[in-house]
Every structure is written in structure tokens, then in C-alpha cells.
Amino acid sequence: MTIRVAVYGAGQLGNGIMGVLAERPEIDASGPFGRRERVRALGSAADVVIVATTSFLCEVAPDIRDAVACGSNVIVSAEEAAYPWAVAPEVAKSIDEQARVQGVTVMGCGLNPGFAFDALVVTATGPAATVRSIQVSRTVDISRFGVTVLGRLGIGYSPTKFDEGLQKGLIRGHIGFLQSMRVVAAALGCTLEDTRSDMTPVFAEQDHELEAMTVRVGESAGFEQHDVGFIGGRPWFDAQFVAHVACASVGKTPRDEITIEGEPQLHFEIEPGLNPQSGSAAMIANSVQRVVVAQPGWLTVADLPPARP
Ligand SMILES: NC(=O)c1ccc[n+]([C@@H]2O[C@H](COP(=O)([O-])OP(=O)(O)OC[C@H]3O[C@@H](n4cnc5c(N)ncnc54)[C@H](OP(=O)(O)O)[C@@H]3O)[C@@H](O)[C@H]2O)c1
């Protein structure tokens, strides 16, 4: 059976997803559709609508509602959609109810969130009889993101502008740790009591020419982010994230690492690290089949079997 897919969002990710889907004979994909073609995408009544536009639940919620109303399953790349109950439980509840009525599935997905700090972590706990705490660290090359994503991550700012951007909420670093931690906690039957996040910029000591922009000496070229989720007053999920537009210039190599503290202790390393662009496009393209056969409602990546080509 051919699966019809419509991709909304004509940026880097939307184009990447189309590139993967176009090679699949069992999939009839259209798009990526830009803002002006919103109705063609969301009103397509395709088996699966993929929304790859922004990071924020409040911005994608109307798009999800419209696609669900037309009977489509929906996959969303927005980081906040990976666990929508963390930022807007009432929105999550109403869309979950709408999806159940329509008999379709909604899921937030990508590489991160969607895999590196959640689905993969849940799988990694499998060989442990007990889990006391989890540490995940990721060093990632962010040089190939577009200017919107780079700006929101915190790249290309003077020290003063960086502080201003942080205070105004324009610079967010990586969005999604709260969601990933909640996905993992829910899968392991735990409840996070509190979370803490801090972020330190790394300023360029040389110019960096990127596809989307030039980062000048003295401007932010990367950052180190540390998020911790607490259970019982103790760190339960420790997430370390090092992002840079030129990892080698600061002596770093892209890599992913997961440590499960428990019985026994488990340690996993992935080198070179998971690619944020091709990895996200593949994760979403590889989720089309699993979303089509999933039970109705708003699900997380931990509710479904692993994504596969
Ligand atoms: N979960 C994950 O692992 C993962 C992975 C990759 C990306 N993402 C997220 O997915 C989003 C897309 O990523 P990207 O790399 O493709 O970004 P991008 O290159 O900046 O492209 C985003 C595209 O969506 C459009 N857009 C932005 N806001 C929109 C809105 N409210 N309604 C309709 N269209 C809108 C933009 O149009 P304009 O140019 O007109 O603004 C642009 O064409 C980003 O928020 C990114 O953080 C998540």
C-alpha cells in the first residue's frame, strides 16, 4: 500500500526529509510546502503530514489541529512537541482528544529530541536490572544549521548581545532537554520533580565561514549547556551538551555518550557523533510507517517501536 505524505516547512529539515522519502517507492511524498502553501500541506488529508517549521508548541498547535481535522497522522519536529505535556498540558490534552476522535496519531520526533537523549536512552536501560541515574553527553557540530536555528541556539552574538538575548528569551540554546527527560522518566515510570538548566557561551578566536552566516572573532561560536532533572532531591538525569560551529577549533570531536548508573553500570559511546541534519531527516522519514500503524492519540517516541528505514 502506498503511504501519502505531505511535508509542511520548506527549510533545511523539510527538504532533508523530502530527500529521504523521495527514494522510497512505497511512499508518495509531496512538498516541502512553504507558508503560502499551508492549506495544500495541512489540508491534504495525506496519511501523514510532517510539520517541520518551528520549535514551539504554541506555533505548531494550530497546524497540528488542522491536519488532524482532515484525518492525517502528524509528525512534528518542534522540540516542544516531543513531550507537549511539559509546556502546555491543556493544549496536549485537547489535541490528544481530537486525534483519538479522528483515529490518528500525533508524535513529536527528530534526532534530538526524538532519539539521542530519549528513545536511545530508554533502549540503553534495557540491560540494566535497576537504574539509579542517567548521564548523557553530546558534542555536536552545528555549523550546517540555517540562520534562524543558529540565532536561536545562540550563535553569532557579541558577549553583550548574548547576555541580552538570553535575558529576552531570544537565545534558548538547545530546546528539548525538558522534553527528553520527561519522555525517559515516563517510560521508566518515574516523575521528575525539578529541572535546572545553565548555558555558557564559547566565543570565537578566529572567523568561521558557515553556509548560513559568518561568525567573527569575539562572537559566540558555540556553547556548553548543562541540564539536570531531579528525583528525590538528587540528580536523576544529567544532560551535557557541547555545541560548536567548528568543534576541532576548540579541541572537540562530535560524539555521543550514555551512562546508565545502576545494576550493572552501562556505558555506550558513539563516535563520530550522530549527525543533526541527516539524522533528524532520517528519524522523521523512518517514523512514517510506525505512526501510520500506531494507536490514536498524542504519543511519544517511547510509546512506539524503534524507527527503521
Ligand atoms: N527534533 C529535532 O531533532 C529537530 C531536528 C531538526 C530541526 N528541528 C526543529 O525543526 C524546525 C525546522 O528546522 P529547520 O532546520 O528546517 O529550520 P529552517 O531551516 O529555519 O526552516 C524552517 C522553515 O519553516 C518555516 N517556518 C518557520 N516558522 C513557521 C511557521 N510558524 N509557519 C510556517 N512555516 C514556518 C520557515 O520559513 P521562513 O523562512 O519564511 O521563516 C522555513 O522555511 C526548527 O525549529 C528546528 O529547531 C528539530
Tell me: the pLDDT tens digits for 202-226? 999 999 999 999 999 999 999 999 9
CA torsion sign for 87, 229, 146, 67 is negative
Neighbours of 55 (CB within 10 A): 18
pLDDT at position 240 is: 98
pLDDT at position 131 is: 98
pLDDT bracket for residue 102 (50, 70, 90)? very high
DSSP-derived pairing of the beta strands 220-231 and 214-215 = unpaired
Above 90 in pLDDT, residue 1? no
What distance, in Å, lies between the first and last C-alpha atoms of the chain?
16
Above 90 in pLDDT, residue 168? yes
Above 90 in pLDDT, residue 125? yes
* pTM for this prediction: 0.97
pLDDT bracket for residue 58 (50, 70, 90)? very high
The predicted model gives 124-144 an average pLDDT of 98
pLDDT bracket for residue 124 (50, 70, 90)? very high
pLDDT bracket for residue 65 (50, 70, 90)? very high
pLDDT at position 70 is: 98
- Ligand 1 interacting residues, C-beta cut-off 6 A: 9-14, 34-35, 52-55, 59, 77, 79, 110-114, 145-146, 148-149, 280
The alpha carbon of 15 and the centre of ligand 1 are apart by a number of angstroms equal to: 11
Cβ atoms of 274 and 118 within 8 Å: the answer is no
The alpha carbon of 56 and the centre of ligand 1 are apart by a number of angstroms equal to: 10
The predicted model gives 98-109 an average pLDDT of 98
Above 90 in pLDDT, residue 143? yes
Cβ atoms of 265 and 131 within 8 Å: the answer is no
